[in-house]
Structure 1
């Protein structure tokens, strides 16, 4: 059976060569991510072009995801790192102000002082250092170091449990968003999304630039978790971004939150990505730890649409082995079945109910394949949320962009096909295409579900056809 769990790989210095991009596609990469926190515009523009060239060379549709930096809080530049011991006092001040104690750095968010409270915890550099806020003034806060460490330049700051009045989009995000639209991005991810209004603001900003990417909402803090239903409804895809989320919540809560969010995405019919540190040790090691294998297995067992690699493929020593590892783990657990959250999808309209009937029929017929005819990809995504068990699930659409936007949808293999004037001819074309790729044999039952209108085939209809 073909692998159903999709794989997103982040491009970086380790994988920027066009030949390597092609190799990663051949090994099983379905989507490429460009992290705009680190990417220069010329580099990102060229990476998007290389992905398109390698995809066209193979006759497949591999999408590109632009991941915006978002309103993160970072420390300023330091001439050299600060070596901090437990009990030391560190000052975080507004840019343009002078230090008042020896250990001092600036922060890029001037509203920090108004948002925080004395006695709260401040987490620096993705959890490597913990500090306690001792005092605050209008232009600075002073913290006591609770765990020793080295504080370098532009380190990330988290404030678990504190509501921050950060904007949904920074000036940098808006510039990067314009580049994403210019490059015809297939997905644009908003970082540190905290409510549905942030998703809408990102979508409206993209549409004002005449972009038509799908929006990925990254869930990274407690406020987003509290607003998860509204965010799921507003976004096209949810990303469980476990790096910052794992700092914002108690670590033993993180696996429970991941499963809860994945299940809720199933119920509400929105695709979901599990990301961050899936194979972190493989940045330097050629094989995963057994804990990492179990972590990847759990995400695939939860039947998330996609799994995402970050540093493992952007700067790691073994990007090819990372892809091979994910593919092997996903293939193995899929043979054992999944949690079955697809049975809990809330069916709200005729299209979703037609999709359920088609999946039930395809799963009940020996060797049956599932075919979706769709113009915008909506029906294919809704069908995929039901997690069909059939070994073949194909979507046909006349639009190449729709093919790419189905790239991270679990289980779907999308093909571009010009729809004919009659449904009979369209089905014949689709069947011939599958035969040409040796994906069907004569006589194979095809369960065809469609929401397109024709003279002889109503919208939201199902047809049983034999190849």
Structure 2
């Protein structure tokens, strides 16, 4: 696999057929996302099965990510959309409260009135409508419309700069989490994570259900930015969720925050996804805008582990072309080099220092391959975080789940392999498998790094072997 950046796509009406899922795997998709904000349980369970079947047919390690809705604030149902003009007064009220103005809707969060103040900005539908809060009462707020537009049913509300006392997990999230565990999800994403305690709460709830998924923390508001280091340390993966984050901060700050988060993830050794509107115009158009090409290039240049598509593949007209665009753009920029954040990784233990030594050795040997033997995938992730330049980086592990969970890790190709009782036999099996797949030739130098214990191979060790 010459491309190092991994790709997540969101399943939806445009991509739910088994045939299309197979085509997207063939095109380069590594992870399939199920957005539980819109998915019914029966549909999500069926999609997970379809992904597994298509991956098995191709002997491919493809991951499934369940993305929980989180404690989002949404408007209520309207008989028909409101066409709002500048200066109109819109009311947001508790469920059960009677309207006092013509343009009125409910909100699903009763604590809203206690969290906001007069003068706060209220944003509807990811920035489509901007309003100023003029009146706060016990059961409602009244807002002055600052930008005209249309407001439909169940639109998302953001409150930039306002600290909200929302729970980490809603009742719906707990039900969706149980489904994710039942479907053996490889990743579970928590939405609107605001501090490390929210990550720990999600992990504890999953482990109570005996789930083994890895946790993705979605960074979506200013409070998360303030707590970013602690969130990075608590999560397995960080998602720079630029949709909500872009409405929470001034738009000119967004690219700076993206780079800062990606850099922090590198330094602290946590994988990172860049998401939202990478190819937004391709929902309708067959080619990306030049600005979108540059945006994707920038994320790949920052050496993010993964690039994610949302509406482009869930409801868009050209899902296969979107995946192809990500493949082409990221592959091209990778050939010209990256930002080099991997040089700044903080090496905090022997395993990470061993990983650094292995990468340095592999990068210094012409035509060398880098091989990681790992039971849980941790060492493979440490190695990947150092962004090795070698053309072949392979991880071998005895479990299917670890193989799939490495689908999100930049640059690594995973293989399932039963480890022998002695290291020599394991290395021989590795060599034969790589030769069989035409990934190495006789004599190819293999830098093998392992955290396995055996009679002749200590934990956190490096071995140079010629195939």
Question: Normalization by structure 1: what TM-score?
Answer: 1.00
Superposition deviation, residue 83 in structure 1: 1.3
> Is 2:373 aligned against 1:388?
no
How many aligned residue pairs are there?
467
> What is the match of residue 165 of structure 1?
165
Note the alpha carbon deviations across 1:346-385, whole angstroms, 9 max, x for none. 0000000000000000000000000000000000000000
Once the two structures are superposed, the pairs formed by residues 313-352 of structure 1 within 5 Å of their partners are: 313-352=313-352
Per the alignment, residue 236 of structure 1 pairs with: 236
- Would you say 1:23 and 2:32 are equivalent positions? no
In structure 2, list runs of 5 or more residues that go unmatched.
Answer: none
Secondary structure at the counterpart of residue 407 of structure 1: helix
CA distance in 2, matches of 1:27, 1:150: 37
**Where does the alignment leave 5 or more consecutive residues of structure 1 unmatched?**
none
2:41 is equivalent to residue 2 of structure 1: no
- Per the alignment, residue 300 of structure 1 pairs with 300
1:86 aligns to what? Answer: 86
- Find the residue that maps to 1:143 and give its secondary structure: strand
Q: CA deviation at 1:150?
A: 1.0
CA distance in 1, matches of 2:83, 2:26: 45
**How much does 1:61 deviate?**
1.0
Q: Distance in 1 between matches of 2:123 and 2:192?
A: 16
* Shift in Å, 1:151: 1.1
CA distance in 2, matches of 1:189, 1:355: 28
Superposition RMSD in Å? 0.5
User: Hey, what's the Cα distance between the residues in 2 that align with 1:349 and 1:142?
Assistant: 54
The residue aligned with 1:130 is: 130
String of CA shifts for 1:100-119, please: whole Å, max 9, x gaps: 11110000000000000101
What is the correspondence of 1:43-442 to structure 2 with a 5 Å cutoff? 43-442=43-442
How far apart, in 1, do the equivalents of 2:388 and 2:372 lie? 12
Q: Deviation digits for residues 83-111 of structure 1, max 9, x if unmatched? A: 11111101000001100111100000000
Instruction: Give the secondary structure class of the aligned counterpart of 1:406.
Output: helix
Distance in 2, Cα, partners of 1:177 & 1:4: 30
C-alpha distance after superposition, 1:278-302 (max 9, x if no partner):
0000000000000000000000000
Aligned to 2:456: 456
Question: For residues 399 and 416 of structure 1, what CA distance do their matches in structure 2 show?
Answer: 6
* Distance in 1 of aligned mates of 2:378 and 2:62: 18
Secondary structure at the aligned position of 2:202 is classed as helix
SS in 2 for 1:361: helix
The Cα of 1:82 is off from its aligned counterpart by 1.1
Whole-Å Cα distance in 2 between the matches of residues 428 and 341 of structure 1? 34
* CA displacement 1:429-464 (0-9 Å, x = unmatched): 011000010000000000000000000000000000
- Give me the TM-score of the superposition, normalised by structure 2: 1.00
2:357, 2:151 → 1: CA distance? 57
Structure 1 segments of 4+ aligned residues over 6 angstroms from their partners: none
Deviates more, 1:382-391 or 1:79-88: 79-88
Shift of 1:54: 0.4
Q: Deviations over 1:52-103 (max 9, x none)?
A: 0000000111000000000000000011111111111010000011001111
